[in-house]
Amino acid sequence: MSNRISRVDEYIASAAPFARPILRHVRKLVHKACPDVKETIKWNMPAFEHHGIMLGMAAFKEHCAVGFWKGDLVLGKRAGSDGAMGHFGKVRRLDDLPGDAQFLEYVRKAAQLNRDGVVRPRKLAKKPKSRSLSLPEYFVEALRRNKKAAAVFEQLSYSHRKEYVEWLTEAKRDETRARRLSTALQWLSEGKPRHWQYTGKSYHDA
């Protein structure tokens, strides 16, 4: 019984002329390497499954793409790591694919990984970049003289510290800036964020 499905036939037939021999060749190699493979359509492109998805192929206007689901383990690199969809860049001709022997080995490895129940490695979440805030010199000096306000300011979240800094630096007149600085130090000494009036929390001067 053939494991080939008509929807993949139709996909290949509707692809651009340059893409058809590439798609047919990939399909042939996948079936050769894994005779029990099953065809399906996922994300509007042909995919091949054996105890789970192994790989997929797609045709675009000027190139094809072939990607292994567990490419990190099969090939040692992620799809798109070379700037293109799939694991072999923009495939425009058969010569852009790995040699048949190598490709067959990739498919066999992908099939074995699925049979063994090996899961695709998770992407590690990127650590957020530390955010630094530039304080005006007069604010630094004022905090140096007011240890209590400085301690509270240091414990505030980045966004709350930024609100204080922006409030001070947006003052257009020296008098306004001085008044705001005095108020900021008072509020900080009381443990208050810049917009404490809208937090619904009660603050007491300690």
Report the C-alpha gap between 109 and 49 in whole angstroms.
Answer: 13
Q: What residue ranges define each of the domains in the chain, with the CATH number in brackets? A: 6-115 (3.90.1150.200), 137-198 (no CATH)
Stretch 45-59: mean pLDDT? 96
Q: How much is the mean pLDDT over the chain?
A: 88
Please tell me the pTM assigned to this model. Answer: 0.58
Report the C-alpha gap between 103 and 67 in whole angstroms.
Answer: 12
β-strands 64-68, 53-59: how paired? antiparallel
- What is the percent of the chain with per-residue pLDDT over 70, rounded to a whole number? 86
- pLDDT over 50 at 1, yes or no: no
- Output the pLDDT for position 130: 58
| Tokens standing for residue 93 | 């001709």
Stretch 116-128: mean pLDDT? 71
